[in-house]
Structures are given as structure tokens and as C-alpha cells.
Amino acid sequence: MLGLLYRAADALRRRSLRHDHGRIGEDLAHRYLRGQGCIIVARNYRRRAGQGEIDLVAWHGPVLVFVEVKTRASDAFGAPETAVDQEKRTSLQYAAREYARRAGIDWDKTRFDIVSVVLTRPPQVEWTRDAFL
């Protein structure tokens, strides 16, 4: 029954957010990670300085995970995770350090992951753990 409700919600969301691939991808990544045993504690966390955003922050066991979600309509132009360049990684690290500091989490108990979403039917979701340092 719950699966039917999720599918109906997905259909409505896709219809209303038809051109917002990033939001659809984040929703799919959120659900996927929860299904893998993660506890999502924040979405779209922004630094107080305004620079850098973390799509998802989650606990995966004893590790706090900062997740960058990359979404594409197709993989015709390459895998979504290839869009996480050095500049994006640096921006994520600044935001993650601020989050960890404010939450009182030791930096050695954190990691960076990438969730790639390709919006095919059905969507393809790939989780890359320890994607970068």
C-alpha cells in the first residue's frame, strides 16, 4: 500500500516539477538513501555566508555523510557525477566544515558521497560513497 502511495506522489511531483530535474533528483536520492538505512537530517543546507549548499546531510551508521545529488534527463552527455568538479568540491567542503563544527561532529567521522540520478523510466540511481576528500 505504501509503495502505491509513493508511486502516486512521484507521478504528481513529476507532473508539477516537470522541468525541475534537480528537485526531482533530490527527492529520488532522499528516498533511495532512506531505503539504504540512512537517516536524513538536513536538505539544502546553506552556509551562513551564503556560499555553498549541501543537497543532503545524512547519518549512515556512525558516519555523517554530506551528499551531492546530480541529476540528468539522460546520460547522453556523460555520467551526472562527472559534473562535480574541484570548485564544487571546495564549496561543499566549506559548507560541510561549517555544518560539522556547528553540530559538534568530529571531522574524521564525516565523508562526502555523490548520488547520480538519470531520469529514465524507471529512474537510475547510483550511490558513490567516499567520492572525494
Question: Has residue 77 got a pLDDT over 90?
Answer: no
The pLDDT value recorded for residue 110 is: 98
69, 43 contact by CB (below 8 A): no
Average of pLDDT values for 57-74? 95
∠ CA(84), CA(80), CA(41), 5° rounding? 70
pLDDT value for 83: 83
Q: Which phi-psi region, left, alpha or beta, contains residue 104 (left: φ > 0; alpha: ψ -120 to 50)?
A: left
Structure confidence by residue, pLDDT tens digits, 2-35: 667 766 766 665 555 456 788 999 999 999 999 9
User: Alpha-carbon distance 36 to 33, whole Å?
Assistant: 5
pLDDT at 78 over 90: no
* Domain chopping of the chain, boundaries: 2-132
Distance, C-alpha 99 to centroid of its chain: 15
Q: Which one, of 41, 40, 55, lies nearest residue 102 by Cα?
A: 41
Query: In this structure, how many other beta carbons lie within 10 angstroms of the beta carbon of residue 31?
Result: 15
90 and 80 in contact (C-beta within 8 Å)? no
CB 29 within 8 A of CB 83: no
| Amino acid occupying residue 109 | K
CB atoms within 10 A of CB 32: 17
Q: Report the pLDDT value the prediction gives residue 7, as an integer from 0 to 100.
A: 67
- What is the CATH number assigned to the segment(s) 2-132? 3.40.1350.10
